[in-house]
C-alpha cells in the first residue's frame, strides 16, 4: 500500500452548475481576505468552482511550498483569461504565458540581460542613484516652497526611469507627455486586468462588451503604440556590436535565430513575443516597485518611531558627508528589516498569479486534477497568527536577530516574490531599488501628513497589484539638508 491510497479530494465550497461557487463568494471584502476567512470553515486548503473551472486555494506555507518548490514544474502552468489575453496577445509574455520552451527562453534572455547590466551591479546602481538624486531634488523643491506633495507620481517616475534605462536606454523628464500617457494607461490596466471579473469567470460574457473590457482595450492599445515605437527605433539603429538594453538583447537573439535559418516564430522570437516580454518587464518594473515604495512611505507616516530609527541608523552608518550606496546594505539592518516588513504586511501580489496543474497530482493528501487552477494566498501566509504575532501590527523588529545587529527570517511563512520556477524575475533589481530610494530620501527628509489631515488608509485596493491610497505628504528636510 503506497501513500496514494490516502489521497482524497480537498474540502470544497458548495457549487451550482454554470455559476459554480459564486453564491458563496459574494462579499464586500477583497478576494484575499475572503479566501483567508473561508479557512475557518474549510481548512487551509480547499477548492471551489469559478464557473466550470476548479480552483484550489492554498492558505498555508507547507502546501504553498509543495506547489511552488517541491512540485514546481507540475504547477508551473498559467491559465488563459479574456483580460490577460488582451494584455499579452494570447499569452505571448512571461508572466501570463503558459509553461513552454518559449516561456523558458524569454525568462533566460531577460535574466541574462539584467545580469549583464549588473556587471557587479555597478551600472544599475548608478542609474538608481541618479534617479534618487532627481527624486530628492523634486521633494526638496516642494519642501522649500512649503508645498505638500503627492509622492505617488514622483516615485513612479523614478522607478519608470530605471526600467526605461534597462529596457529602452531612455528616460523621462517631469511632466513629459509620453510619461503622463504611460502613467494613465498603466493605471487603467492595473484596474481592469486579471481581476476575476465576471468576464474572466464567464468567457461568453465578452459578447456583451462591458466598460472594464473597453477601458482595458483602450489602455492596451496606448501601451502597444508606445512599445511599437520603441521597437521600431531600436530596429532602425540596431547593431550586433553594442547591446544598450533589454530590447537590444532580445533583438540580438532574434537575429541570431534568423541567421541560423530558423524562423523567428519557430524560435519563439516573433515580434509579438519580443514586444510582450518587454511589456511585462516594463509593466512589472514600474507597478510593483512603485507600489512597495508608496506602501513603505505610508507605513512610515503611520509609525514615525520606525522612521526615526531608520534615520538614526543612517546617521550612524552613512552620516551626512556622502549618499548611501548598495554596499551599505549590509550595515543598515533596520532599514532592510523595514523593507521586509512592508513586503510582508502588504504583499504586492497577495494571490501571486494563479498557477495551473500540468498533470494529475496532489497537494498534501489532496488530489489535484490536470488543468486545475491553484491560487496561493500569500496574504494568508503573511498574516498567519501561528507564524506572526499580531500580524496586522507593523513591526520591522520581527526581522532582526535577537541582538538587533542583523536581519533575520523569523518564519518560513514568507514568500513576497513567490518561489520556484515561476519566482519573480525582478527580485534583486526590486530590492536594490527599494533600498536606494528609501535610504536616499530618509537620509534627507522626514515624512508626515500635512497638519490637521487624517492618516492615509492602510486598507489597500485589490487588483493585479494591491495599491495604497493617494494622499499628500509633508516633507521636512532633516538637519544638514535644509536647502
Q: Is 289 in the site for ligand PLO (CB under 6 A)?
A: no
Binding flags for ligand PLO, 170-189, as an x/- string (CB under 6 A): ----------------x--x
Binding flags for ligand HEM, 279-318, as an x/- string (CB under 6 A): -xx--xx--xx--x--------------------------
Q: In whole angstroms, how close is the CB of 418 to ligand HEM at the nearest point?
A: 3
Beta strand 45-50 with 53-58: parallel, antiparallel or unpaired? antiparallel
What does 165 interact with, of ligand PLO, ligand HEM, none (CB < 5 to 8 A by kind)?
none
153: left (phi > 0), else alpha (psi -120 to 50), else beta? alpha
Q: In whole angstroms, how close is the CB of 241 to ligand HEM at the nearest point?
A: 25
Q: What DSSP element (H or E) covers 477?
A: strand 474-477
What does 248 interact with, of ligand PLO, ligand HEM, none (CB < 5 to 8 A by kind)?
none
* Closest to 418 (Cα-Cα) out of 119, 78, 187, 81: 78
What does 287 interact with, of ligand HEM, ligand PLO, none (CB < 5 to 8 A by kind)?
ligand PLO
Q: Is 464 in the site for ligand PLO (CB under 6 A)?
A: yes
Q: In whole angstroms, how close is the CB of 159 to ligand PLO at the nearest point?
A: 12
Q: In whole angstroms, how close is the CB of 48 to ligand PLO at the nearest point?
A: 22
Quote the CA–CA distance of 439 and 313 in Å, as a whole number.
10
Binding flags for ligand PLO, 89-128, as an x/- string (CB under 6 A): ------x---------------------------------
Per rule CB under 6 A, count of chain residues that contact ligand PLO: 16
Q: Which three cell numbers stand for residue 459?
A: 486598507
Q: Which of residues 329-348 bind ligand PLO (CB under 6 A)?
A: 348
Alpha helices for 145-210 (secondary structure H): 151-168, 177-192, 198-201
Q: Is 353 in the site for ligand HEM (CB under 6 A)?
A: yes
DSSP secondary structure of 242-282: ---SHHHHHHHHHHHHHHTT--TTTTT--HHHHHHHHHHHH
DSSP structural state of residue 222: H
Query: 139 or 339, CB closer to ligand HEM?
Result: 339
Q: Is 284 in the site for ligand PLO (CB under 6 A)?
A: yes
Stretch that binds ligand PLO, among 27-35, 204-212, 281-289, 432-440 (CB under 6 A): 281-289
DSSP structural state of residue 141: H
Quote the CA–CA distance of 383 and 377 in Å, as a whole number.
10
Q: Is 349 in the site for ligand PLO (CB under 6 A)?
A: yes
Quote the CA–CA distance of 83 and 74 in Å, as a whole number.
25
Q: What DSSP element (H or E) covers 46?
A: strand 45-50
Q: In whole angstroms, how close is the CB of 275 to ligand PLO at the nearest point?
A: 12
Contacts of 274 (CB under 8 A, 6+ apart): 231, 247, 250, 251, 254
Report the interface residues with ligand HEM, using CB under 6 A: 94-95, 107, 280-281, 284-285, 288-289, 292, 343, 348-349, 352-353, 416-418, 422, 424-426, 429-430
Amino acid at each position: 500500500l503506497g501513500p496514494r491510497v490516502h489521497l482524497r479530494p480537498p474540502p470544497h465550497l458548495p457549487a451550482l452548475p454554470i455559476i459554480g461557487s459564486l453564491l458563496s463568494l459574494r462579499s464586500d471584502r477583497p478576494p484575499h481576505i475572503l479566501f483567508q476567512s473561508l479557512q475557518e470553515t474549510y481548512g487551509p486548503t480547499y477548492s471551489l468552482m469559478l464557473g466550470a473551472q476548479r480552483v484550489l486555494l492554498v492558505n498555508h506555507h507547507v502546501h504553498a511550498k509543495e506547489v511552488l518548490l517541491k512540485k514546481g514544474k507540475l504547477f508551473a502552468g498559467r491559465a488563459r483569461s479574456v483580460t490577460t489575453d488582451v494584455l499579452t496577445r494570447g499569452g505571448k509574455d512571461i508572466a501570463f504565458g503558459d509553461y513552454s520552451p518559449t516561456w523558458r527562453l524569454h525568462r533566460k534572455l531577460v535574466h541574462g540581460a539584467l545580469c549583464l547590466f549588473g556587471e557587479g551591479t555597478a551600472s544599475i546602481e548608478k542609474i538608481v542613484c541618479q534617479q534618487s538624486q532627481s527624486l530628492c531634488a523634486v521633494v526638496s523643491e516642494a519642501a522649500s516652497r512649503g508645498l505638500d506633495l503627492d509622492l505617488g507620481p514622483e516615485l513612479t517616475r523614478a522607478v519608470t526611469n530605471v526600467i526605461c534605462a534597462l529596457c529602452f536606454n531612455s528616460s523621462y523628464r517631469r511632466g513629459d507627455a509620453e510619461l503622463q500617457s504611460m502613467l494613465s494607461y498603466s493605471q487603467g490596466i492595473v484596474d481592469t486586468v486579471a481581476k476575476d471579473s465576471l468576464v474572466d469567470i464567464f468567457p461568453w460574457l465578452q459578447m456583451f462588451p462591458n466598460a472594464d473590457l473597453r477601458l482595458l482595450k483602450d489602455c492596451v492599445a496606448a501601451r502597444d503604440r508606445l512599445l511599437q515605437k520603441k521597437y521600431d527605433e531600436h530596429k532602425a539603429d540596431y547593431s550586433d556590436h553594442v547591446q544598450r538594453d533589454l530590447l537590444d538583447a532580445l533583438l540580438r537573439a532574434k537575429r541570431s535565430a534568423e541567421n541560423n535559418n530558423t524562423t523567428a516564430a519557430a524560435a519563439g522570437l516573433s515580434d509579438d513575443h519580443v514586444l510582450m516580454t518587454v511589456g511585462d518587464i516594463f509593466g512589472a518594473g514600474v507597478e510593483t516597485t512603485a507600489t512597495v515604495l508608496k506602501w513603505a512611505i505610508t507605513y512610515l507616516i503611520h509609525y514615525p518611531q520606525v522612521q526615526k530609527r531608520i534615520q538614526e541608523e543612517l546617521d550612524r552608518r552613512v552620516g551626512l558627508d556622502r549618499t548611501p550606496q548598495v554596499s551599505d546594505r549590509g550595515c543598515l539592518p533596520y532599514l532592510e528589516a523595514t523593507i521586509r516588513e512592508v513586503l510582508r504586511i502588504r504583499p504586492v501580489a497577495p494571490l501571486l498569479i494563479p498557477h495551473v496543474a500540468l498533470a494529475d497530482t496532489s497537494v498534501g493528501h489532496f488530489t489535484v486534477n490536470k488543468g486545475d487552477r491553484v491560487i496561493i494566498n500569500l496574504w494568508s501566509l503573511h498574516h498567519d497568527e501561528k507564524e506572526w504575532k499580531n500580524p496586522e501590527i507593523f513591526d520591522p523588529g520581527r526581522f532582526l536577530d535577537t541582538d538587533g545587529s542583523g536581519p533575520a527570517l523569523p518564519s518560513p511563512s514568507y514568500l513576497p516574490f513567490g518561489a520556484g520556477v515561476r519566482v519573480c524575475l525582478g527580485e534583486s533589481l526590486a530590492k536594490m531599488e527599494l533600498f536606494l530610494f528609501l535610504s536616499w530620501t530618509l537620509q534627507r527628509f522626514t515624512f508626515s501628513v500635512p497638519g490637521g489631515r487624517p492618516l492615509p488608509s492602510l486598507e489597500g485596493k485589490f487588483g493585479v497589484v494591491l495599491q495604497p491610497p493617494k494622499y499628500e505628504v509633508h516633507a521636512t528636510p532633516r538637519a544638514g539638508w535644509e536647502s
